[in-house]
A and B are shown apart, each in its own frame.
Chain A
Amino acid sequence: MPLVVEKLNHTYMKGGPYETQALSDISFTIQDGEFVGLIGHTGSGKSTLVQHLNGLLQPTSGRVLVDGTDLADKNADRKQIRCKVGLVFQYAENQLFEETVAKDIAFGPKNLGLDAGEVDRRVREAMRQVSLDYDRISGKSVFDLSGGQMRRVAIAGVLAMKPSVLVLDEPCAGLDPHGREEILGLIRRLHRESGATIVMVSHSMDDVAQLAERVMVMHRGHLVMDGRPEEIFSRGEELRKMGLDVPQVVQLGEQLRARGYEIPEQIYRMEDMQELLIRLLKKGEYHAQ
């Protein structure tokens, strides 16, 4: 079941002297099993947008439909709806509060009113999904864990609600390369193995290029680009004008093309570039013109 956003507008402090249009006329549909990378400058409206996806913010106008239900529908159960789209906030470890890892992950399922057996099953399942060893870690205090582990507990806390769409806001912010690799790996696994629908908000073009199958670009409250990564990254000039960057692989492609090499525009992943360059340099198939 898809996630549909129709003509969404959001205005902060409407009518006041500080009125700001945070979102203007945003429409898109995300199908089951898609992996969307959402990029944009700070203040582009990304965070406001993701908070609409699970009903934390209400549209000034327009609608958000999850599995066919309008989030603004008064008759719908707020809690149930909020759980259909699982939102992992930036620095999600800041929300942890329980004495133990297991109790903290159980917070969401308990709020859904599930029985103890189901809650326990979900906690175990969520911990497995984020590669945390239940026997070793579940009884530990969350404050004894490393930064990367805390982040994974927070993600597990959202996964335990079994959302149909998982939205992650800057899941790697502040982590070291190893922690970043871990989180990106687990997101990739969630998508590939369980076919989860994922929306990842990120500043890192390289991360988005490695993972996303579709890229949406926000700028000043507008959705300015929406397409396959190769389409988006081939518009390097426009991206740079918005203060965004393109992945280094794409930059390499652009510069090599400028030197007369035939590098296809759809190359934006490291592995593809590597393969191409090996062919190019080993067999001497290509020559500078």
Chain B
Amino acid sequence: MLNDITLGQYFPGSSPIHRMDPRAKLILTIVYIVAVFLVKSFVGYAISLAFLYMVVRLAKIPFSYVIKGIKPLRFIILFTFVLNLFFLTGEKVLLTIGPFRLTQEALFNAVYFSLRLVFLVMGTSVLTLTTSPVQLTDALERILHPLQRFHFPAHELAMMMTIALRFIPTLLDETDKIQKAQMARGADFESGNLIQRARAMIPLLVPLFVSSFRRANDLAMAMEARCYRGGDHRTRLRELRYTRLDAVAALVMAVYVALIVLEGHFFG
């Protein structure tokens, strides 16, 4: 259970970053994302790198974990890079390969846009590494709560996320069992063309759906039996409270944003 899904990529700890209110972390992450979009030059990225590095050190996470977060998106980043490199035009031609001309502006843009992606991913990684999915769900529910006045289903959304998180490991387990049971009856999930493979999934998917419906039914009954009646008048075991830590964090973030804005002004 190394990649336990309920933990996501959560890196447990008790650093100041871990102890921050998840709502503050979520909001500050959004502020950070906006700031990254405001970066105009490589100086801005240098500032961002310094800022991220400081946060990661404070969180006591190995920086390599943050880098690892980029891995799943490496193709998108590469694609952005290549696209910008060859399809943007400019004046200072550096290199010509057949019909393609590489210009200095294009090179700048390619690096600039790829870095933007890298910094976005690293920033959100810091959030998910220091905040468990449970806390995130909690934060989301409470941040969205005021929208309930406009019939936005904030509680229901959070409850759905919680149940999904709770049942993903159970269903993965079940998938494994059914797959093995069908393999014991000679089912082949590994060979054949695309259509054959899709057909081979039926003996797996039908039982899985049947059992999921049964589970949903059972769960609904169990929730009802435990007095569930939607989000109204509900209290929570875990109360979220903003502390001085969050104020300090907001202040540091403000300094970072100010630096980025200044950077845009002077180097942009």
| Direct A–B contact in complex, judged by CB atoms less than 8 Å apart | yes
Set of chain A residues within 8 Å of B182, measured between Cβ atoms:
95, 107
Known contacts A16-B2, A97-B203: does B184 contact A54 (CB below 8 Å)?
yes
Query: Which one of A38-46, A83-91, A257-265, A271-279 contacts B?
Result: A83-91
Nearest chain B CB to A202 CB, angstrom units: 18
**In the bound complex, what is the Cα–Cα distance between A99 and B177 (angstroms)?**
21
Q: How many residues of B contact A (CB 8 A)?
A: 20
A96 adjacent to B207 (CB under 8 Å): yes
A111 adjacent to B184 (CB under 8 Å): no
Does any Cβ of B come within 8 Å of A253's Cβ? no
Set of chain A residues within 8 Å of B121, measured between Cβ atoms:
none
Q: How many residues of A contact B (CB 8 A)?
A: 26
Set of chain A residues within 8 Å of B1, measured between Cβ atoms:
18
Q: Determine which of B184, B185, B211 lies in contact with A94 in the assembled complex, contact meaning CB atoms within 8 Å.
A: B211
A111 adjacent to B180 (CB under 8 Å): no
Does any Cβ of B come within 8 Å of A82's Cβ? yes
Set of chain B residues within 8 Å of A247, measured between Cβ atoms:
none
Nearest chain A CB to B231 CB, angstrom units: 34
Question: Which residues of B, 177-223, contact A by the 8 Å Cβ criterion?
Answer: 177-178, 180-188, 202-203, 206-207, 210-211
Known contacts A94-B177, A94-B178, A95-B178: does B206 contact A111 (CB below 8 Å)?
no
A79 adjacent to B186 (CB under 8 Å): yes
Set of chain A residues within 8 Å of B210, measured between Cβ atoms:
94, 97, 143
B181 adjacent to A95 (CB under 8 Å): yes
Q: Determine which of B2, B174, B183 lies in contact with A82 in the assembled complex, contact meaning CB atoms within 8 Å.
A: B183
Set of chain A residues within 8 Å of B203, measured between Cβ atoms:
95, 97, 107
Nearest chain A CB to B127 CB, angstrom units: 25
Set of chain A residues within 8 Å of B202, measured between Cβ atoms:
97
Set of chain A residues within 8 Å of B174, measured between Cβ atoms:
94
**In the bound complex, what is the Cα–Cα distance between A87 and B184 (angstroms)?**
6
Question: Which residues of A, 135-155, contact B by the 8 Å Cβ criterion?
Answer: 143
Nearest chain A CB to B105 CB, angstrom units: 48
Chain A residue at minimum C-beta to C-beta distance from B205: A97
Known contacts A17-B2, A18-B1: does B180 contact A56 (CB below 8 Å)?
yes
- Between A13, A79, A143, the greatest number of chain B beta carbons within 10 A of the residue's beta carbon is seen for A79
A108 adjacent to B185 (CB under 8 Å): yes
Known contacts A92-B181, A94-B178, A97-B206: does B188 contact A111 (CB below 8 Å)?
yes
A107 adjacent to B185 (CB under 8 Å): yes
**In the bound complex, what is the Cα–Cα distance between A2 and B39 (angstroms)?**
72
Chain B residue at minimum C-beta to C-beta distance from A112: B186
**In the bound complex, what is the Cα–Cα distance between A157 and B186 (angstroms)?**
11
Known contacts A83-B186, A111-B187: does B2 contact A89 (CB below 8 Å)?
no
**In the bound complex, what is the Cα–Cα distance between A286 and B89 (angstroms)?**
108
Interface residues of B (CB under 8 A from A): 1-2, 174, 177-178, 180-188, 202-203, 206-207, 210-211
Can you give 25 A-B contacts (C-beta < 8 A)?
A16-B2, A56-B183, A79-B186, A82-B183, A82-B184, A82-B186, A87-B181, A87-B184, A89-B177, A94-B174, A94-B177, A95-B178, A95-B203, A97-B202, A97-B203, A107-B186, A107-B187, A107-B203, A108-B185, A108-B186, A111-B186, A112-B186, A157-B185, A158-B185, A161-B186
